[in-house]
């Protein structure tokens, strides 16, 4: 085996190992930030509740109008 072929094999092996290490780190990082997701969910629910409380009558009338225009 020539020195350049041996060096190429070493480079491939090193890059392969680096890729595996990066995948392991990415898998560890992608487990998610549970408190962040909980906060986003609670804030979304809060926004929907506030919008529903403020604009309930308008939202209901828009929904009924949309349904009546579709059903004829």
H helices within the chain, ranges in order? 3-29, 34-71
pTM of the predicted structure, to 2 decimals: 0.44
Tens of pLDDT along 12-61? Answer: 665 666 666 666 666 555 556 678 888 899 999 999 999 999 999 999 99
């Amino acid at each position: 085996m020539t020195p350049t072929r041996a060096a190429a094999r070493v480079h491939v092996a090193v890059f392969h190992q680096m890729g595996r290490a990066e995948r392991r780190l990415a898998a560890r990082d992608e487990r998610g930030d549970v408190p962040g997701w909980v906060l986003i969910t609670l804030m979304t629910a809060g926004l929907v509740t506030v919008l529903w409380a403020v604009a309930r009558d308008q939202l209901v009338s828009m929904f009924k109008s949309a349904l009546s225009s579709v059903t004829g």
